[in-house]
Amino acid sequence: MSVQPILEVTDLAVDHGSGRRRKRAVDHVSFTIAAGTTLGLVGESGSGKTTTGMAILGMLPIAGGSVLFDGRDITGMRRSERRALGSERQVIFQDPYSSLDPSKTIGYTLAEPCRIVPRERRLSTAEIADRSAMLLRRVGLSDDAARRYPAQFSGGQRQRIAIARALMLSPRLIVCDEPVSALDLSVQAEVLNLLLELQRDLGLSLLFISHDLSVVRHVSHTIAVLQGGQIVEQGPAQQVYEHPQNDYTRTLLAAAPVPDPREQRLRREERQRSRTMERTQ
């Protein structure tokens, strides 16, 4: 692990809406992602986890705080500089059905990120085609997939394509916004494996946003728990998962049912006890 973190977020604040309806969606959010590691961002709907991800990607204006990408502050960056960053950070979204333009071939979609690279460093059409084919094979698809349209692929296959697109410019950080939430259990395992392998082989850093604690624990090195736009707990994945310090983290962990009837009965009883205690207090 290098000393310099790939991403350093300090006191991030993001607003939703404008004018009188402006509302702070994320406040005082701070975390760092060391190069080559994964930070899991967990929370329920409305907790601000997606908002945080979008702000880091530059898709939402930042109202306060700083976001250092590889030591450079991206909040005050000019558009041209920020565009250059496009090659270093990429995104994978939740819904594999809407994340690929249905009217474009897979080849076009994969080539698109290459078009923003400055002319002198831009790859030739043939090089782009080679790289697309290589990445398609890497994510487990055949390279003739480049000539097909998204509608011809299943959800899991589309998510693989989205991953290939994210890898086209060899980024250093990928924001994964609920990348497996829309997938079936068996497909989810395949996509998680792919992400783990890619991280191992390419040294990628991941910001992994999810509501599913067991998935987050499986892929993350550190976990940050968001509630109401603020981080209530963060630390090494195992510690947060097994010895949560914060009440909300505990509630969240206790609420998620586990696929083991005996363990689940114990958790349920535990949860009921803590609830009755809450009530009596």
Partner 1 sequence: MRASSASRAMSAGLGRRVLRKPIAVISGFVLIVIVGGSFAAPWIAPYDPLEQNLRIAKEGPSLAHLLGTDSLGRDILSRLMFGGQESLSGVVVAVLSMLILAIPLGIVAGYLGGVFDRVILRVVDVLLSIPGTIITLAVLAIFDNNMVVAMVSVGVLASGAFIRVFRSATLSVRQELYIGAARVSGLSQARIMVDHVLPQIRGVLLVQVTLFAAATLGIQTGLAFLAFGPPPPAPTWGGMVAEAASLIQTDPWMLVPTGGVIALTTLALCLLGDALRDANQERFTLAGLVGEKVVKTTAPPPATPSPRLATAADPDDEAGVPGAPDALLTVRGLSVGFGAAGRETTAIQRVDFDVSPGEIVGLVGESGSGKTVTALAVLGLLGANGRITAGSVRLGSDELVGMSSAKLREVRGARIAMISQEPMGALDPSFRVGSQIVEAIRAHERVGRAEARTRSRHLLEAVRLDPAIASRYPHEISGGMAQRVAIAMALAGRPDLLIADEPTTALDVTVQADILELLRTLQAETGMAVILVSHDWGVVADLCSRAIVMYAGEVVERAAVADVFETARHPYTAALLRSNPHGAEAGTLLPTIGGSVPAPHQWPHGCHFADRCPLVTAECREAPVEMVHLDGDRASRCIHIDELAEAKV
List the interface residues with partner 1, window 184-223 (CB under 8 A): 184-190, 192-193, 196-197, 211, 213-215, 217-219
| Residue 105 sits in the site that holds partner 1 (CB under 8 A) | yes
User: Which of the ranges 26-34, 63-71, 92-100, 201-209 carries the binding residues for partner 1, by CB under 8 A?
Assistant: 92-100
Measured over all CA atoms, what is the biggest interatomic distance in the chain, rounded to whole angstroms? 70
Kindly tell me which of 11 and 276 has the beta carbon lying closer to partner 1.
276
Cβ-based neighbours of 218, under 8 Å, separated by 6 or more: 192
Minimum gap (Å) between residue 231 Cβ and partner 1: 18
**Among 194, 204, 212, residue whose Cα is nearest residue 173:** 204
| Residue 255 sits in the site that holds partner 1 (CB under 8 A) | yes
| Residue 68 sits in the site that holds partner 1 (CB under 8 A) | no
Distance between CA atoms of 180 and 203, rounded to whole angstroms?
21
User: Which of the ranges 1-9, 21-29, 63-71, 77-85 carries the binding residues for partner 1, by CB under 8 A?
Assistant: 77-85
DSSP H or E stretch at residue 271: helix 261-280
- Considering only 86, 138, 235, 274, the residue that binds partner 1 (CB under 8 A) is 86
Distance between CA atoms of 181 and 82, rounded to whole angstroms?
29
| Residue given tokens 């979609």 in the structure block | 109
| Residue 74 sits in the site that holds partner 1 (CB under 8 A) | no
User: Which of the ranges 5-13, 22-30, 201-209, 259-267 carries the binding residues for partner 1, by CB under 8 A?
Assistant: 259-267
- In the chain, which ranges are continuous DSSP H helix? 49-56, 79-85, 106-111, 125-138, 155-167, 185-202, 213-219, 237-242, 247-255, 261-280
Residue 28: other Cβ atoms inside 10 A: 14
Residues in the chain: 281
| Residue 89 sits in the site that holds partner 1 (CB under 8 A) | yes
| Residue 153 sits in the site that holds partner 1 (CB under 8 A) | yes
Kindly tell me which of 73 and 147 has the beta carbon lying closer to partner 1.
147
